[in-house]
C-alpha cells in the first residue's frame, strides 16, 4: 500500500522487529494506543518468543511489565509478518541495521528505526574511513524505502510503564513522520514531527558518548559544577558536529539534542552513564559492558563519532577523551586532567 494511505489508516498493523528492551517498550506503547488493535513483536529466537507470549511479559529485559492484549509475540518467517504490516519498526541495535534494511529494501510500507549511533567501521577498512548515520545507511542500501527515525529522551522501562514521554519523529519522507504520530502519539506519549533527520541522528549518537564522560565525572565525585560543565560543553560539541554535517542548530536545543543528552547523562537508568560510573570504580571496560546485560551504544559508536568529526574538521575534546579512555590509552585518573588542561579560549 502507498505511504499516503498508510499515514491516515487507523487502526493499523504494526510490526516491531527486535525483542530487546527498547523494541518491547515501543511495542507495548503502540499496543496501548486507544486506536490500536494489532501489534506484533518479532523475536529472533523461537524459544524466547514462546516464553514471552506465555508469560505475557519480557522478563529478561522489562521484568514485571505486563503485555497489553493487542500485543502478540511471534518468531519464524519475518517476511510473512512484513507482508501484513502497515508500519515496520526496527528495534535492533545499530550494528544490525544494515542487514535488516537490505532484507526490507523492497518493502512497500514505511520502515523506521529506533537505534541511535553511527555505524561502526570494520577494522580492515582504509584508514580515515568513517561510519554512517542510520539514514545514510538506508540511502546506500535501500534508497527507495519510505523511512525515518523515532528518537528522543526516553528510557525503555518508563515507556513500557506508560510514564509521560516525548519523542521526535524524523523522516526522510514527510508521510513517515505523520504515520509515526498517528501510531504512537497518545496520552502518555507525545510525538513531534521533525524534518532534520541529520540533527536528530547526530544528537542520538553523540549523547551516548557524552553520557560516558558524565558518568565518569559523577563516579569520581567531581561535583555538580563539573557535571554541568561537561553537559554544556558536550552540547556544544554535538552541535558543532551536527551543523558541519548539515543539521540545523535549533534541533540541538530540542528533544533529540539537549533533552536526550540531559536524560542520558544524568538518569540512573542510563546504560552509557553506568559505563562511566563503573570505569570510575576501577572496572575494566570489558567488566563494565558485561555487567550491564544490555547494549551501551556509546561504547561502540564513540570511535566512529570521533572519526566522523575528524573527517569533518570538527574538534570534539570530550569525545576524544572518552575514546582514549575506552581504548586504554588514558587512565581514569588522568581523564579529567586531560579535559581541564585545554588552552583557555572564548566560549
Active-site residues, by number, are 207
CA distance 96 to 92: 6
Task: Tell me the β-bridge partners of 72.
Answer: 40
Q: Which residues of 20-47 are buried (b: 16+ CB within 10 A; e: fewer)?
A: bbbbbbbbbbbbbbeebebbbbbbeeee
Closest CA to 167 of 146, 147, 148, 143: 148
Give the DSSP H/E element, type plus range, for residue 333: helix 332-340
Q: Say if residues 12 and 89 touch (Cβ distance below 8 Å).
A: no
Q: Say if residues 9 and 86 touch (Cβ distance below 8 Å).
A: yes
- Would you say the C-alpha torsion 97, 210, 272, 327 has a positive or negative sign? positive
Q: Say if residues 39 and 31 touch (Cβ distance below 8 Å).
A: yes
Q: What share of the chain is helix, strand, coil (3-state, %, to 5)?
A: 50, 10, 35
Closest CA to 113 of 141, 139, 144, 134: 134
* Strand ranges for 22-144 from DSSP E: 38-42, 71-74, 87-90, 111-113
- Would you say the C-alpha torsion 108, 109, 110, 113 has a positive or negative sign? negative
Length of the chain: 347
CA distance 331 to 324: 9
Amino acid at each position: 500500500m502507498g505511504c499516503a494511505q498508510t499515514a491516515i489508516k487507523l487502526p493499523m498493523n504494526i510490526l516491531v522487529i527486535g525483542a530487546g528492551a527498547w523494541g518491547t517498550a515501543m511495542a507495548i506503547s503502540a499496543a496501548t494506543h486507544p486506536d490500536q488493535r494489532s501489534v506484533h513483536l518479532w523475536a529472533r529466537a523461537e524459544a524466547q518468543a514462546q516464553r514471552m507470549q506465555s508469560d505475557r511479559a519480557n522478563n529478561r529485559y522489562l521484568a514485571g511489565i505486563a503485555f497489553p492484549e493487542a500485543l502478540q509475540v511471534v518468531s519464524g518467517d519475518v517476511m510473512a509478518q512484513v507482508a501484513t504490516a502497515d508500519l515496520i519498526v526496527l528495534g535492533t541495535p545499530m550494528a544490525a541495521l544494515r542487514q535488516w534494511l537490505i532484507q526490507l529494501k523492497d518493502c512497500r510500507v514505511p520502515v523506521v528505526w529506533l537505534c541511535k549511533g553511527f555505524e561502526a567501521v570494520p577494522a580492515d577498512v582504509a584508514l580515515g574511513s568513517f561510519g554512517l548515520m542510520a539514514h545514510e545507511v538506508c540511502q546506500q542500501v535501500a534508497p527507495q524505502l519510505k523511512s525515518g527515525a523515532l528518537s528522543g529522551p526516553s528510557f525503555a522501562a518508563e515507556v513500557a510503564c506508560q510514564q509521560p514521554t516525548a519523542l521526535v519523529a524524523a523522516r526522510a519522507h514527510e508521510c513517515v513522520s505523520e504515520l509515526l504520530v498517528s501510531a504512537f502519539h497518545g496520552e502518555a506519549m507525545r510525538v513531534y514531527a521533525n524534518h532534520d533527520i541529520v540533527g536528530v541522528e547526530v544528537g542520538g549518537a553523540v549523547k551516548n558518548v557524552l553520557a560516558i564522560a558524565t558518568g565518569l565525572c559523577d563516579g569520581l565525585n567531581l561535583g555538580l559544577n563539573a557535571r554541568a560543565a561537561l553537559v554544556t560543553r558536550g552540547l556544544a560539541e554535538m552541535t558543532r558536529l551536527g551543523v558541519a554535517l548539515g543539521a540545523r542548530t535549533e534541533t540541538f536545543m530540542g528533544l533529540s539534542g539537549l533533552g536526550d543528552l540531559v536524560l542520558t547523562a544524568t538518569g540512573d537508568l542510563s546504560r552509557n552513564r553506568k559505563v562511566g560510573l563503573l570505569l570510575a570504580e576501577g572496572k575494566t571496560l570489558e567488566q563494565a559492558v558485561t555487567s550491564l546485560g544490555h547494549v551501551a551504544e556509546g561504547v561502540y559508536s564513540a570511535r566512529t563519532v570521533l572519526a566522523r568529526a575528524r573527517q569533518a574538521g570538527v574538534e570534539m575534546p570530550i569525545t576524544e577523551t572518552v575514546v582514549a579512555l575506552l581504548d586504554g590509552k588514558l587512565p581514569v585518573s588522568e581523564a579529567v586532567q586531560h579535559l581541564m588542561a585545554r588552552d583557555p579560549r572564548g566560549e
